[in-house]
Structure 1
């Protein structure tokens, strides 16, 4: 038995729970299990096992969980596992990943009245897993392959595209969605050799999947599951297991058996199987390299089962698009919440200048956009990105307004403090004497200097001071006019000086407003540039992933074509050439796709920037679109 390192459990499941119930030949999702699954926000590695009932599937899954018991083994000829059971544990070798084990009810149970559910259980196991284990007994022979008729029905049970004629699609489409394949052969008693030479279990499987020659219906039926496995699962692995023990009484209660009671060869084989799964089972993803966590997997499962229960055929394209709508809306919310949270943490209100605030905004916005890009997928019209742009612009303006209000409030309070001496002198008539205007000006300048020396007044410091001084204009004019120590000419010169000073201050405030307007426009340009840059990077990464997947499918097709030629199936190989040609055309189109979609994306985001961003966004719109064209080069 493999020993596990001690680690904190992110999903505290002491035992499996039924995920998909099979009641009265009807499938339904168990809400309690679904809640556990959807609570997992980290990537999931999903291992599903299927096979005929009473073939020891549950025992293998328990070993993967590092336990003797858990999934019900059963000691009779009846099938114990009904529906699909789930056990979520921390992955033993991938930090921040959860291993989701799915044990399915035995196929071919004679007690079941409707075998249709077997096909759906089989299909769901494939759709949900990142590695699919088929468990059988004895050997991989004609009978074992005949029992794999469920795999030949997949193209009738699942469709990739939503178009009406999508059923029965080319296997290349399925390869992008299907998991890796492992065939486990239990109680294997044959010698692993071919034509007198030793072979590996993998070679044994590949030899068993060779097509039989002949054109009659019997041969075609025999070849169909072989061809499906070869077409749907490019990555295949085989494990053979000796009997765990020759003691029948022990076999009936394997969950209670000590390791020392098992055959050494079986323990070694079981450990090799577990090690392979832990090392090679990839995190669950869907076409385009979209990472699937427990939450996304649960939502996909709900969609699949709901569709099956209505009598329709699950469409992977529709399921992914429905998931994308939910996830993209959540991504907008999470990114905008993150922006607000970070701004509240990093901004010390009031900031000294608007630019100080905008610099912090730029950093927080960049991180928020990056979060959105990481969480979102298939936002092909940039609908959700534009929604985020609008929200962040609104939130930024809210912070700007708050910053101004905090500055105004602070400055008004401080002005009240530093002007107390001046206001008291005015109320007491201190300046209503000959030479009083000079005394007033000295006291006013002293007050202004004290105010200027106060720290952290913010960007409304001059606005508030100017408004305060304007409120003193009538009092100041009165003191000037009643000062008998001044000649008429001197009073006129002083009055003119007051007007000049007021005009200069007004001009200075206007210049500040214009500078702040320019800063806001530049901030919007930077915002647009950041959105475009991150979108460009994401789309290039997505395109690279699609090309990688298409190249993988093409390599698989070329390899399969070569095998068909070697096996003498020249007509099949020639027919496959059409599929190969279509794939090569798709790859070429994808390689040159950037030239066609990039201007459209720029136009979409640019138009969105003009009409979604309030205020100066409209003024900056043409500049933003021009900037986008510059970035696209």
Structure 2
């Protein structure tokens, strides 16, 4: 099996969540390793339903494969636990489609109702689209078999703190905001889609079946599942499939091609797949926070750990785990990426600071992107602020290294180029009449030879200026000893020595000012890049949050009208109160912009930015 960060290739499904010998659940390490490789957003489609109802066939179809998830041809349930298959999404670029095939519910060999509830809950918690697969028709019996839905509020919490009175947690509104879309796949359907003598769609068939029964409360057995489906799942869809083939052929479903199946079945199966591909959204947490494959792995672990410890899985706890684990990881990966890329790309020493800065800016931009893609719910930008600090430190250390490499190489070349001159000075060659002119010519020849040397880096002028400053006293001594020059001529030469030394020093200082100014620009550019990438991510999350709230409001409004029409006025009024609370949240001043405001305050450039940067690099 080969897989990569954005190129997952799984030849077959593997187990994601396994059943333990004591009846518990455990997450499989191999599946976690695969999910951990996926840094793309994931569209997660889970199928649930009674055992031996053909769930696995639909998952194989979505994977574009004939075989994969075990189909089986006996009364025995083939799938145990939850199995996973990750494939490139056929419609959404840069997304991975994660298919989850769950253990059949109601297996008589198991006889453990609680186990079925947890399997169902895990499918709801992990998926962005939940497919419920059943046989026959949607009637009272079928709805009774889907009683797991009514138990979701007992086994899933949005908030783990029951004393939190400020937010309206664990209401149907909150569940509707975070639960997946719901697709009911009715298999072996033999009825006509008609109601009161008129043709209806499969969706209308489902919604009619979910009408509350008059005379009962919403908590009565007949209405509880109906009410839960309507209250928890904002988006509902239905597909009805006729029997795919005769019983003999169905004994070997894995070997059958579309040509061997009933035409209407194939048509509906293709329509089903098309709907899933186009309408299943990426997995998100409350507030539009997008989930990647590696985050999905953390979710699976967090929920299973809660179940194993006897607790009720909490979405808030899951978000907290994702925040701590993946922000720390994103920070480390971004810094490591920056460090390794700079080491690979920079050839020390660079000729100019501008050259070095351009490399830094390009790599830093990618490093910030690595962090942004991997970060999650960094509301106060705590981790991004730390990233900014660490990247500045890494850059500062590399600038020091670049400077020191340039100094080291320049000094080495100085020793070589000026070696003959030093030899002549040690022998006293220039301590004679006319020696000063000879010294000046020899010095100029060495200077020009040094300047012709390539690849010395940005400190070559500084090293040369320091060397020539040392030679000023030597030149003055030679000038004083040269009796061929008059006193006036000596004074002229002395003035020229001072001018030359000052000129070299000014060139060096100008070079330092250029470096410092560039470093200041680099930090400003870095700040702007952090802000730009963060704003883009926030805008995307805010848009998803808007869509989440609007989708919930639209669904609640629809359900409110239906409840009132069906005579359940109290339920309709309760939904109105929940809608009002959600609208209040939506309309709060700066609701969607509040995070954006924090960006400028937390990542803002300090007032003494220029001074601090100059002071920092002046010590170099």
Task: Tell which deviates more after alignment, 462-471 or 339-348.
Answer: 339-348
| Structure-2 separation of matches of 1:48 and 1:468 | 74
| Structure-2 separation of matches of 1:396 and 1:197 | 72
Partner of 1:603: 601
* 1:464 Cα deviation from its structure 2 partner: 0.6
Q: Return closer, same or farther for 1:480/1:291 CA change in 2, 3 Å cut-off.
A: same
Q: Which residues of 2 match residues 490-505 of structure 1 at below 5 A?
A: 490-505=489-504
- Residues 1:233 and 2:230 are matched in the alignment: no
* 1:483 Cα deviation from its structure 2 partner: 1.6
Partner of 2:325: 326
* 1:372 Cα deviation from its structure 2 partner: 2.3
Partner of 1:627: none
1:17 paired residue among 14, 20, 23: 14
Q: Return closer, same or farther for 1:527/1:30 CA change in 2, 3 Å cut-off.
A: closer
- Residues 1:60 and 2:58 are matched in the alignment: yes
Task: Tell which deviates more after alignment, 42-51 or 503-512.
Answer: 503-512
| Structure-1 separation of matches of 2:518 and 2:97 | 50
| Structure-1 separation of matches of 2:431 and 2:56 | 101
| Structure-2 separation of matches of 1:471 and 1:539 | 58
User: 1:50·1:133 contact (CA, 8 Å) conserved in 2?
Assistant: yes
* 1:322 Cα deviation from its structure 2 partner: 1.2
User: 2:468·2:501 contact (CA, 8 Å) conserved in 1?
Assistant: no
| Structure-1 separation of matches of 2:33 and 2:244 | 36
| Structure-2 separation of matches of 1:62 and 1:511 | 69
Partner of 2:421: 422
Q: Return closer, same or farther for 1:221/1:617 CA change in 2, 3 Å cut-off.
A: farther
Partner of 1:202: 203
Partner of 1:376: 375
Q: Return closer, same or farther for 1:619/1:592 CA change in 2, 3 Å cut-off.
A: farther
Task: Tell which deviates more after alignment, 301-310 or 354-363.
Answer: 354-363
Question: TM-score w.r.t. structure 2 length?
Answer: 0.89
Partner of 2:364: 365
Unpaired runs of at least 5, structure 2: 1-5
2:139 paired residue among 124, 141, 152: 141
* 1:149 Cα deviation from its structure 2 partner: 1.1
Partner of 1:624: none
User: 1:543·1:590 contact (CA, 8 Å) conserved in 2?
Assistant: no
Residues 142-187 of structure 1: CA deviation (Å, up to 9, x unaligned):
1111111111111111111232347971122122322111111122
| Structure-2 separation of matches of 1:505 and 1:70 | 75
| Structure-2 separation of matches of 1:536 and 1:278 | 29
* 1:12 Cα deviation from its structure 2 partner: 4.0
User: 1:61·1:103 contact (CA, 8 Å) conserved in 2?
Assistant: yes
| Structure-2 separation of matches of 1:446 and 1:246 | 99
Q: Which residues of 2 match residues 173-188 of structure 1 at below 5 A?
A: 173-188=174-189
Q: Which residues of 2 match residues 91-110 of structure 1 at below 5 A?
A: 91-110=89-108
Partner of 1:410: 409
| Structure-2 separation of matches of 1:479 and 1:471 | 14
Residues 457-477 of structure 1: CA deviation (Å, up to 9, x unaligned):
332122111221233344323
* 1:576 Cα deviation from its structure 2 partner: 1.2
* 1:394 Cα deviation from its structure 2 partner: 1.2
Partner of 1:481: 480
Task: Tell which deviates more after alignment, 310-319 or 413-422.
Answer: 413-422
- Residues 1:398 and 2:394 are matched in the alignment: no
Task: Tell which deviates more after alignment, 391-400 or 560-569.
Answer: 560-569
User: 1:155·1:168 contact (CA, 8 Å) conserved in 2?
Assistant: no
- Residues 1:461 and 2:460 are matched in the alignment: yes
User: 2:193·2:201 contact (CA, 8 Å) conserved in 1?
Assistant: yes
Cα RMSD for the two superposed structures? 2.9
| Structure-2 separation of matches of 1:363 and 1:157 | 48
Q: Return closer, same or farther for 1:263/1:510 CA change in 2, 3 Å cut-off.
A: closer
* 1:435 Cα deviation from its structure 2 partner: 1.1
Partner of 2:33: 35
| Structure-1 separation of matches of 2:87 and 2:515 | 54
| Structure-2 separation of matches of 1:337 and 1:34 | 23
User: 2:158·2:169 contact (CA, 8 Å) conserved in 1?
Assistant: no
Q: SS state of the match for residue 176, structure 1? A: helix
- Residues 1:338 and 2:337 are matched in the alignment: yes
User: 1:68·1:255 contact (CA, 8 Å) conserved in 2?
Assistant: yes
- Residues 1:214 and 2:188 are matched in the alignment: no
Q: SS state of the match for residue 407, structure 2? A: helix
Q: Which residues of 2 match residues 241-256 of structure 1 at below 5 A?
A: 241-247=241-247, 249-256=248-255
Q: SS state of the match for residue 98, structure 2? A: strand
Q: SS state of the match for residue 588, structure 2? A: helix
* 1:347 Cα deviation from its structure 2 partner: 4.2
Q: Return closer, same or farther for 1:267/1:506 CA change in 2, 3 Å cut-off.
A: closer
| Structure-2 separation of matches of 1:320 and 1:327 | 10
Q: Return closer, same or farther for 1:258/1:379 CA change in 2, 3 Å cut-off.
A: closer
Partner of 1:3: none
| Structure-1 separation of matches of 2:591 and 2:278 | 36
Question: TM-score w.r.t. structure 1 length?
Answer: 0.88
User: 2:183·2:238 contact (CA, 8 Å) conserved in 1?
Assistant: yes
* 1:216 Cα deviation from its structure 2 partner: 5.6
* 1:93 Cα deviation from its structure 2 partner: 4.2
| Structure-1 separation of matches of 2:325 and 2:404 | 37
1:48 paired residue among 46, 49, 62: 46
Q: Return closer, same or farther for 1:100/1:362 CA change in 2, 3 Å cut-off.
A: closer
- Residues 1:266 and 2:262 are matched in the alignment: no
Residues 306-348 of structure 1: CA deviation (Å, up to 9, x unaligned):
1110011111122122122222222223333333344445545
* 1:261 Cα deviation from its structure 2 partner: 4.3
Task: Tell which deviates more after alignment, 24-33 or 388-397.
Answer: 24-33
Q: SS state of the match for residue 178, structure 2? A: coil
User: 2:379·2:595 contact (CA, 8 Å) conserved in 1?
Assistant: no
**How many residues are matched?**
607
Partner of 1:554: 553
Q: SS state of the match for residue 336, structure 2? A: helix
Task: Tell which deviates more after alignment, 10-19 or 489-498.
Answer: 489-498
2:154 paired residue among 153, 156, 173: 156
Q: SS state of the match for residue 370, structure 2? A: helix
| Structure-2 separation of matches of 1:270 and 1:521 | 61
User: 2:289·2:377 contact (CA, 8 Å) conserved in 1?
Assistant: no
Task: Tell which deviates more after alignment, 334-343 or 52-61.
Answer: 334-343
Q: Return closer, same or farther for 1:487/1:551 CA change in 2, 3 Å cut-off.
A: same
Task: Tell which deviates more after alignment, 30-39 or 338-347.
Answer: 338-347
Partner of 1:170: 171
Residues 468-501 of structure 1: CA deviation (Å, up to 9, x unaligned):
1233344323322322223455445544543454
